[in-house]
Copies of this chain bind each other. A is one copy, B any other.
Amino acid sequence: MENIRLLWESTGLYNFTGPQAIMMAVGFLLLFLAIKKDFEPLLLLPIGFGAILSNIPVAGMIDEGGILYYMYSGIKAGVFPLLIFMGVGAMTDFGPMLANPKTLLLGAAAQFGIFATLFGALAMNVVPGMEFSLKQAAAIAIIGGADGPTAIYVASKLAPELLGAIAVAAYSYMALVPLIQPPIMRALTTEEERKIEMQQLRVVGKTEKIIFPLMLVVLTALLLPSAAPLVGMFCLGNLMNACGVVDRLSKTAANELINIVTIFLGLSVGSKLSADAFLKMETLGILALGAVAFAIGTASGVIMAKVMNRFSSTPINPLIGAAGVSAVPMAARVANKVGQESNPYNFLLMHAMGPNVAGVIGSAVAAGVLLSLIH
């Protein structure tokens, strides 16, 4: 009898707390979004599963000695997001951006989503029950960069307690780009503007593609060294791919290594979806602010493109400004699709890839700004 009582007391049923059950449900919701709704499944599936595993009572997988505890140290050290960024660099082709460098300005403009959200998060302190410090506000704001590893890197440095919510918001909104962006893009442009066809891009040579990551890393070192880890690892991956002499390494960086790290990173982000950190008013604030961040980033990219179109000698379709938020290559595809609604023969995809990869640089630069100005 005594033994059966002991046995019963060792079950999960006996030990489950309400918050743990809710967090497991959140994990299942993420799995549903990943598998059925195709929401960034590469990340949201491991994150969701990590949320489930870490909220199993008694098992203690997040306690010292548990597998998720060890995995999280790869995030705490910043190693996982930086390795992912290296792999992303190895997959990125800067050709379209180098063919039309002024699209970098679109990638810059879209980062206004980050800084407006920073202000918004601070302003939210007037709402009772919400309380964000400057560091937390900055970590939330980086969701507006629409770049997963950058968001995780910054959050792990500035506000690790919000890491789970921020990562989930970042990847969810990245998956929602095809829903969030088009209405904003249509509202801010005229039918005529959406019809604008752009000049074909020149072919960019190999030398330029090799020099560019080197130039970028030097400029970062000179002007914004706090962005150097992110930008540097990105440029390393990109250089390995562009130079063509270390294909073994760039392929491994862009495939097996990024896959392994993605599993570990996802699980350990999920392990931070604990009830006491997630089930708070603040999480609603983060979700709301994240959506606002994407909307503002999209809008400022489009507006910047409109301004540039006015002053540019060659025509610029304002829709490609929306791709400045990064979320590669989803945002560029959205720009292309919205463009073809107005002009079925308008192929904006390559033109939008310029601001799209510029947005990756832009958000890494913005991350560097936040990391250097906020202590």
Contact = CB atoms under 8 A, between A and B. Distances in A.
A248 to B, nearest CB: 5
A12 B372 CA distance: 12
Contacts of A26: none
Contact of A214 (B28, B66, B233): B28
Interface in A57-76: 57-59, 61, 65-67, 70
A77 interface: yes
Interface string A226-265: 1011001100100110010110110111011101101100
Nearest to A16: B222
A57 B42 CA distance: 35
Chain A binding site: helix, strand, loop or mixed by DSSP?
helix
A228 B61 contact: yes
A13 interface: yes
A46 B243 CA distance: 12
Interface stretch (A48-56, A113-121, A285-293, A349-357): A48-56
Contacts of A31: 214, 239
A35 interface: yes
Given A11-B222, A31-B214, A61-B228, 6 more contacts: A10-B226, A16-B222, A46-B249, A53-B228, A61-B232, A252-B260
16 contacts: A11-B223, A15-B225, A34-B246, A45-B243, A46-B236, A52-B221, A56-B220, A58-B372, A59-B228, A59-B232, A65-B78, A66-B229, A70-B79, A86-B263, A252-B260, A256-B257
